[in-house]
Structure 1
Amino acid sequence: METVFLYGTLCHLPLLSVVLGRPEAALDAAPARAEGYRVDWVAGESYPMIRPAEGHVAEGLVLSGLDAEARARLDYYEGGFGFRRAPVTVTTAQGPAEAAFYAPRGNGLVPGAPWRLADWAARWGELCVLAAEEVMARYGEVPPQQIARRVNRIRVRAEARRKARSPSPTTLRRATRPDDIALRERREPYAKFFAVEEYEFRHRRFDGGMSEEVNRAAFISGDAATVLPYDPARDTVLLIEQFRTGPYARGDSECWSLEAIAGLIDPGEAAEETVRREALEEAGLEIGRLHKVYAYYPSPGAKSEYIYSFVAEADLPDSAAGLGGLLSEGEDIRAHVVNFTRLMELLESGEIENAPLILSALWLARHRERLRAAA
């Protein structure tokens, strides 16, 4: 049996419940403190760090009497996020006790502001619980080192699941109820930048019964956001062009694609923040007022990807065209400034064959006169 001192995100009981695989009511956690330590945010990150600091106290929880399974689950989770066990002396209501705590590997972390659990939970708690569900679903199947390499992708997918919890209209389609899907098995045969998940399940039929068991697979990725910059004074838009693997894999005669600016939504980021960030990264462009186009699944039969599309008001002189993209992400992007008539010609000829850009261009065609009048 072992005692573990928790000082950071695992003091959030919903997260600890997922990691240990136990209901919150069964968690035997008690307040504790480690003198001579302090807990700070890691600068620019969404998690804390603990470090020696004379005259300071790190507040947290202790878990006592952990069995081998509980220790293994904690080691798996913390190992996947790059932490290791180290000894520490803590003070509990019963007095001093020897314990272990999880310390970050290496010394390259830069401390930020003092850590407060309530601040973290308000912004990151739900997302991290969802990420932990994916991590712990791989417990016993995938080594923690492999989890560590996929942490960013796991968090992006957790952000997508968090957004997916928002209610959607069901005025015509069938509303999903908790007992409508009976999952027997879920497998993950591939997981790198993207992932593939395979399911064995039954689902509710329209006649009220349950279907026979079916096998289905889905291509798993995070949510994305796109933006078509539009200058209502000049009546011009900015399009970007880049090489795309999809057309290449299909055997398309043309592998360069005309698109709206786009990017994956980072953990904790709103779609509106994503498109402003991506406009700077891909085209060096500051965009103004955003107009929501649609939010949609581009291919719901096989992909989990969900896209938020916008049109943004922007200043688009001819000089806005040029080369851009982040070399660190392997991007090679060319921006074009074209007038609205040319945009429609490209759409009708089939040279634009990218779904988010098609939807955004058609939305702009419907709302263009209103935007120009307002400008």
Structure 2
Amino acid sequence: MTSEDRVPGGTPGVDVPDRRGRTGLDRAGLDLTGNPRVRVREVELLSSSWYVLRRTRFDYRRSDGSWSVEERETYDRGNGATVLLYDAERATVLLTRQFRYPVYVNGHPDGMLLETAAGLLDDDDPETAIRREAAEETGYGIGEVRHVFDVYMSPGSVTERVHFFAAPYGSESRTGEGGGLAGDGEDIEVVELPFEKALEMVGTGEIADAKTIMLLQWAALSGPFARPTGK
């Protein structure tokens, strides 16, 4: 919590609303009872500038029966959803390319990442959210969607759970230009690739986004591009 985040008479996100109108952010986890080996002691709100960073102290009963006091920082950006858009007849997939500063500052050559369409749930259920994100980012409305799996992407520090989907697309489902929302700072390129080419790009490192790799591998193993058993 920086000095500019504090206001007279309270702490944003704790006892007075932060910039997103939230309070009680220091209470998360205090009521957890699902694991008798864990007793949450204290939750400290470190930042709620947009997403939420917390430091939590808890007692943990180790495998030998002894108790230790542990401390973890968790980053809470909400949960998300992603979808692989595919055309089984033409054997293509529809991806997006956009600049991602975190990967740029951590070794990616230019930060321009090829990805499946994705976004945060906000206040929507996962299927509603991914329909919204697909339309905003790619310009395609999607019909029936298939739920594939739900994954914790970085469980050591990030709370986010991502809901994975797949859905067919075609020229008849084009509803707009896509490209994301300029008001949110998005500048997204829509990229159509042959499915086999996309798989090759995983091997060459041209596709380096985890959710995209997972959905492409699923599509090859048991999804729309899976080869019949024994062939």
Whether TM-score is above 0.5 comes out as yes
5+ residue gaps, structure 2, are: 1-8
Provide the alpha-carbon RMSD of the alignment. 3.1
Q: How many residues align?
A: 213
- Measured at CA, do residues 147 and 334 of structure 1 come closer, stay the same or move farther in structure 2, by a change above 3 Å? same
Q: Distance in 1 between matches of 2:23 and 2:219?
A: 35
TM-score, normalised with respect to structure 2? 0.81
Compute the displacement of 1:299 (Å): 0.8
Q: Which structure dedicates a bigger proportion of its chain to helix? A: 1
In structure 2, C-alpha distance between the alignment counterparts of 1:259 and 1:251, rounded to whole Å: 17
Using a 3 Å threshold, how does the CA distance of structure 1 residues 275 and 292 change in structure 2: closer, same or farther?
same
Q: Which amino acid aligns with 2:202?
A: L
Distance across 2 between alignment mates of 1:178 and 1:358: 32
**Paired residues for 1:127-138 under 5 Å:** none
* Map of 2:72 onto structure 1: 216
| Equivalent residue in structure 1 for 2:213, among 358, 362, 372 | 358
- Take 1:186 and 1:284, find their aligned partners in 2: how far apart are those partners? 42
Name the SS of the counterpart of 2:108 in structure 1: coil
Supply the AA of the counterpart residue of 1:188: L
Report if aligned partners of 1:276, 1:286 keep a CA contact under 8 Å in 2. yes
In the alignment, is residue 255 of structure 1 matched against residue 125 of structure 2? no
Match of 2:54 in 1: 197
Q: Which runs of structure 2 are paired with 1:1-375 in the superposition (5 Å)?
A: 140-142=10-12, 147-151=17-21, 177-207=34-64, 209-267=65-123, 269-316=124-171, 324-366=179-221, 367-369=223-225
Shift of 1:316: 4.8
CA contact (8 A) 2:134 2:140 kept: yes
The sequence identity of aligned pairs, in percent, is 33
SS in 2 for 1:343: helix
Tell me the distance in 2 between the aligned counterparts of 1:201 and 1:310.
35
Report the equivalent of 1:48: none
Quote the residue 1:93 is aligned against.
none
- Pick closer, same or farther for the CA change 1:252–1:341 going to 2, 3 Å: closer
CA 277–321 in structure 1, closer or farther in 2 if over 3 Å, else same:
closer
Q: TM-score, normalised by structure 1?
A: 0.51
1:84-116 Cα deviation digits (max 9, x unpaired): xxxxxxxxxxxxxxxxxxxxxxxxxxxxxxxxx
What whole-Å deviation, never above 9, does each CA across 1:60-98 have from its counterpart, x for those lacking one?
xxxxxxxxxxxxxxxxxxxxxxxxxxxxxxxxxxxxxxx
- Please say which structure displays the higher CA radius of gyration: 1
SS of 2:68's partner is coil
Q: How far off is 1:242 after superposition? A: 0.3
Contact preservation (8 Å) 2:15, 2:23: no
- Structure 1 unaligned residues grouped into runs of 5+: 1-138, 166-175
Alpha-carbon distance between aligned partners in 2 of 1:195 and 1:310, rounded to the nearest angstrom: 26
Inter-partner Cα distance in structure 1 for 2:20 and 2:178: 31
* Alpha-carbon separation, structure 2, partners of 1:264 and 1:143: 20
CA distance in 2, matches of 1:206, 1:182: 15
Q: Deviations over 1:336-363 (max 9, x none)?
A: 1111111111111111111110100001
Deviation, 1:189, is 1.2
Hey, what does 1:37 align to over in structure 2?
Answer: none
Aligned CA distance change for structure 1 residues 143 and 221 (closer, same or farther; 3 Å): closer
Partners of 1:230 and 1:308 in 2: CA distance: 17
